[in-house]
Amino acid sequence: MPHFEDDQQGDSKVLTKTRTKTRLARPRLYKVLLHNDDFTPREFVVMVLQHVFHMTESDASRLMLYVHKNGVGVVGLYPFSVAETKVAEVGSLAQQAEVPLLCTIEPDEGDGKDDGDGDGDGGRDVN
């Protein structure tokens, strides 16, 4: 905020400006989990991962196979509102296709840092 002060002789005004730095905390991240089922076609799962999570076909296929073998896998880490939107979008696509594909959200217990590469994993190997 600008502040006027007298100079040392007291005959003129000097404008001084004080700067304050505000640090915003990074939002808490949440895991979006993809669950395996025995009914949803693999091709549909890959298409959903590409469309909703912007994965390449090879990354989507790799994650789909991981989830198929392990029952569940982390698709990515996102702020809650983004995670909620992605889960809703997956649910909507699954409902339209009449398949039981399921994504859920759970809090991430990691450090909450974003490594900036756009994959939402905070620099961790999530699978």
CA distance 38 to 101: 9
In tens digits, the chain (127 residues) has pLDDT values of 566 566 566 666 666 677 888 888 888 999 999 999 999 999 999 999 999 999 999 999 999 999 999 999 999 999 999 999 999 999 999 999 999 999 999 999 985 454 444 455 555 555 4
Helix H or strand E segment including 110 = none
Q: Could you tell me which CATH number the domain at 41-107 has?
A: 3.30.1390.10
CA distance 106 to 110: 12
The structural domains of the chain, with segments of one domain joined by +, span 41-107
